[in-house]
Structure 1
Amino acid sequence: MTVTLSATRNAGPQPGGNPDTLHPRRRRGKGIRREGLTGWLFLLPFAILFAVVFLVPIIVSIRSAFYSQMPAGGGLYGGGELVDTFVGFDNFALAIGNSAFWIGMGRVVLYAAFQIPVMIIVALALALLLDSFIVRRPALFRLSFFLPYAVPGVIAAMIWLYLYTPEVSPFMDYLPAGTDFMAPSTILLSMANMTTWTYTGYNMLIFLSALQAIPRDLYEAARLDGATGFQIATRIKVPMVRGAALLAVLLSIIGTIQLFNEPVIMEGANSWMGKDFTPMMLTYNSMMGEISPSGSGPASAYSLLMAVIAGALAIVYALLQRRKGDA
């Protein structure tokens, strides 16, 4: 007896078949590439804007830090036009060796040591208050707390300068005799008050966003276990916004190193502060030619040195927080 078995092995595509159904991997690959291209096209406007307003100025500043403007002509007094001359690391050496820069940096570090903790604690307290059931109209209070941030920094500094000036202040007459918010011993506290008033609402929104992202089931479970509102706030809410606190502190450190509006406005009424009271004032006045050495080269060197210091402080704080979280 003869048995004939017919089996189809490795059946290939039949002539005239649909190529989309015959090659699903190729079709899937085309779809992925099309989606990737669409994503890059949506990203392109942001990438161009980011490069123009962020990357290009950084590159220009780095390049400028290695150059200095010097007279092109000869003669006893130099003469000729000012041209950019490559000076290597001379501008960085001048910046590092300038005692005024480090004195100003010491002022802003001291300023940050008491201003940032106060601002962060107040911002967290306000966020916890708005996230609780105590406040009946949270939207109104949220807007009220955030409103000072909408005031331009220079305008806010001018308002506070008006309030600090004894001759025109509406409340200085009601304070103890001898109160002076612009004395050398209190000027940093006065500026810290200005900055805290401006940025507390901004940091409050950072904490509030983090609090509202916490699952409400945790609160219900804690209440079923007998936890009070205070215990929920301190043992659940506060530990779970540690990431938001890290972000707020890092932004505050970077902003404090760049302290500019408040001291500039205060210096207009207190000439004893000088043009180099903070590193940012020193950088700006060097660029404008009011402090020697002047020009874009020394100013760029100061800026890059400030960026390195701000980055180092931010990294140190982040590492300390990570170590604290792992402990």
Structure 2
Amino acid sequence: MTAGAPAAPTTPPTAPAAARPDGPRSSARRWAGWGFVGPFMAVFALVFLAPIAYSLWLSLFRDQLVGGTSFVGLSNYAQALQDPSLWSGLGRVSLFLVVQVPVMLAVALFAALAIDSGRLHGASFFRISIFMPYAVPAVVAALMWGFMYGTRFGLVGNLEDALGVGLPAPLSPDYVLAAIGNIVTWSFVGYNMLIFYSALRTVPTSLYEAAEIDGAGQLRIVAAIKVPAMRGALVIATIFSIIGSFQLFNEPSILASLAPNAITTDFTPNLYAYSLSFSGQQYNYAATVALIMGLVTMVVAYVVQLRGMRREG
């Protein structure tokens, strides 16, 4: 090349096929990713999406005495929205949610703070003891508490005989919802306590040391450091508790045999859908009730999650 002559344009080297984004190696990586998530997606579609699709299909039909099964469109949904049994069960679980969930989460939060404080002797023992009721199956817990609630054969009856006074019957229509709330609280306090305690263990100890140097007391540390650190855990526990409240089924179904006058077939929406399906042979209408409750649960949980994310932000 002579001086002053313009340089000849150079052509960039062509990338090998294996290094190109659209080469065979990239395609193999994409298929490898699907290979990892494929089993989960298959199980998810089989046990979650397929039942929802089948329930949606069932809800669009009605089994009639004349003409057999016929397509009715949204008629089942219109009937469900005017069904007093569904609304009474929904109101009952809503009351259960408003009262029981705050009490349960407050007790779990207090237990987590007490165990994490470092001033509780035997913290490991209390942590395991509080969590152990969660390991008891819901059916066993309901049977155990149901027999203790009995006024003729259980603990309440024995206390009445020993004290010579009449105590409120937990399985009466006026107190059965509170009795179920006690069972659920006893069972799930340890589960929520473990969620809160795990969130507390992620807080750096340097924050506590800095707060103590600044003269902050224990209550101030709890309000300014520990509770804000558990905000995400509180949102998760609240969402799980909301879903569990709307799905209330095991406890009332078990106690129904011990308190037939207090727990009816429409005591909760899930119990109502179960009775429609297995006792009334109304599979189409039961699927409609189940889908409506699923939609209500999803909307309420989403609103709670959205509010929690806004506060955390």
Q: Which 10-residue stretch deviates more, 194-203 or 269-278? A: 269-278
Per the alignment, residue 19 of structure 1 pairs with none
The alpha-carbon deviation at position 7 of structure 1 amounts to 5.6
Cα deviation digits, residues 205-248 of structure 1 (max 9, x gap): 22122222223332222122222333212211102211211111
**Corresponding residue SS for 1:133:** coil
2-side partners of 1:174 and 1:101: how far apart?
37
Per the alignment, residue 178 of structure 1 pairs with 166
2-side partners of 1:110 and 1:11: how far apart?
74
Read off the aligned partner of 2:250 and give its amino acid letter. N
One of 223, 236, 252 as aligned partner of 1:263: 252
Q: Which 10-residue stretch deviates more, 255-264 or 304-313? A: 304-313
CA shift in 2, pair 1:46/1:141, >3 Å: farther
Matched, 1:92 2:77: yes
Q: How many residues align?
A: 305
Matched, 1:311 2:298: yes
- Report the TM-score when normalising by structure 1: 0.84
Per the alignment, residue 54 of structure 2 pairs with 60
Per the alignment, residue 10 of structure 1 pairs with 10
Read off the aligned partner of 2:76 and give its amino acid letter. N
Per the alignment, residue 285 of structure 1 pairs with 275
Per the alignment, residue 145 of structure 2 pairs with 160
The alpha-carbon deviation at position 198 of structure 1 amounts to 0.8
Per the alignment, residue 23 of structure 1 pairs with 15
Read off the aligned partner of 2:200 and give its amino acid letter. L
Cα deviation digits, residues 250-288 of structure 1 (max 9, x gap): 111111111111111221112213211111111100001
1-side partners of 2:248 and 2:187: how far apart?
13
Q: Which 10-residue stretch deviates more, 117-126 or 175-184? A: 175-184
Alpha carbons 2:60, 2:74 under 8 Å: kept: yes
The alpha-carbon deviation at position 171 of structure 1 amounts to 5.6
Q: Which runs of 5+ in 1 are unaligned?
A: 14-21, 72-77
Per the alignment, residue 228 of structure 1 pairs with 217
Matched, 1:43 2:40: no
Per the alignment, residue 219 of structure 1 pairs with 208
Per the alignment, residue 288 of structure 2 pairs with 301
The alpha-carbon deviation at position 289 of structure 1 amounts to 2.8
2-side partners of 1:159 and 1:113: how far apart?
25
| Larger Rg belongs to | 1
RMSD: 2.6
The alpha-carbon deviation at position 313 of structure 1 amounts to 2.3
CA shift in 2, pair 1:69/1:125, >3 Å: same
CA shift in 2, pair 1:123/1:12, >3 Å: closer
**Corresponding residue SS for 2:19:** helix
2-side partners of 1:38 and 1:124: how far apart?
43
2-side partners of 1:165 and 1:305: how far apart?
35
Taking the TM superposition and a 5 Å limit, the aligned residue runs for 1:184-195 are 184-195=173-184
The alpha-carbon deviation at position 170 of structure 1 amounts to 3.7
Alpha carbons 2:232, 2:308 under 8 Å: kept: no
2-side partners of 1:227 and 1:260: how far apart?
46
The alpha-carbon deviation at position 143 of structure 1 amounts to 2.7
The alpha-carbon deviation at position 174 of structure 1 amounts to 2.9
Matched, 1:145 2:134: no
**Corresponding residue SS for 2:64:** strand
The alpha-carbon deviation at position 249 of structure 1 amounts to 1.1
CA shift in 2, pair 1:171/1:165, >3 Å: closer
CA shift in 2, pair 1:90/1:289, >3 Å: farther
CA shift in 2, pair 1:122/1:94, >3 Å: same
Read off the aligned partner of 1:53 and give its amino acid letter. V
2-side partners of 1:138 and 1:53: how far apart?
40
> Identity, % of aligned pairs?
37
**Corresponding residue SS for 2:216:** coil
The alpha-carbon deviation at position 59 of structure 1 amounts to 0.6
Read off the aligned partner of 2:101 and give its amino acid letter. I
**Corresponding residue SS for 1:68:** strand
2-side partners of 1:141 and 1:39: how far apart?
44
1-side partners of 2:155 and 2:279: how far apart?
38
Cα deviation digits, residues 119-156 of structure 1 (max 9, x gap): 01111111222222124554443332222112111111
CA shift in 2, pair 1:238/1:12, >3 Å: closer
